[in-house]
Amino acid sequence: MKLAHKIYGEGKPLVIVHGLFGFSDNWVTHAKKFGEYFQVIVCDMRNHGYSPWSDEFSYQLMVDDLVELLDDLGIEKCSLIGHSMGGKVAMHFAQQYENRLEKLIVVDMGVKEYPMHHQHILAAFEAIDLSQMSARSEAERILATFIDSDGVRQFLLKNLYWKEKGKLAWRVNFPVLSAAMTEILGALPEGEVFTPTLFIRGALSNYIVESDYETLETYFPDIQVLTIENAGHWVHAESPDDFFNGALEFLIR
């Protein structure tokens, strides 16, 4: 699949992969800053953002899509940043294409299986009938009955756009993602990756906890873990300066 993507800056390639329900627009500010040091490619995964939709969705397919993008751009080797689901994509890529990686940064995602925890988000979208809505505020009111966090609601509402006059649509394929949720939350297959790897975790998030460190090291022996205080799962958005400085120091070292 041909992924929608944007390129910022010049230099060694750095690819950024967004998380579940996100898309490349969430990373523009960081991409421009990293673009002062690298050629930065931000892409939309299948069923997200501006990329095509497909009834097929798996980590293997997302890795294949990423390889196709790199090949199309003539990129033999890159560094890779992935957040949440994008972090899992990045780890799968690293296991299969380590020879194409310079460095790897995984943002608030571990290798373990996660329990189902997106039900309220998926229920919210099932409750929103866009064919009956004439204003974004109507969708926001329904989201508010399911999701307490204003930050999460605004993050999700970035996926809502005017497809044509008077017709709202989503940029994310919720039915397919809902059906694939077991795989999305599944554990990483066993396999060592010796690429220098940085895990960045939010101190207020439970996606990576200290008891996970030993397991992470069995998969990624050349590992560092950076904890960002006062940040939850959306580390790069909640503490952007600390995230950027920590990632850049690792990348240019």
> Considering 18, 48, 233, 236, which one is annotated as catalytic?
233
178 is catalytic: no
Spatial separation of the C-alpha atoms in residues 121 and 79, rounded to whole Å: 32
Of 244, 253, 198, 251, the C-alpha closest to 38 is: 251
Q: Is 83 among the residues known to form the active site?
A: no
Backbone angles phi, psi at 102, to 5 degrees: -90, -60
What six digits make up the tokens of 123? Answer: 């229920």
Q: Which of the following is catalytic: 51, 84, 205, 239?
A: 84
C-alpha span between 243 and 98 (Å, rounded): 24
User: How do 5-8 and 39-43 pair as beta strands?
Assistant: antiparallel
Nearest to 201 by CA among 79, 84, 114, 113: 84
Query: How far apart, in Å, are the Cα atoms of 131 and each of 134, 160, 247?
Result: 8, 13, 42
DSSP assignment of 56-93 = ---HHHHHHHHHHHHHHTT-S-EEEEEETHHHHHHHHH
Q: Which residues are part of the catalytic machinery?
A: 84, 233
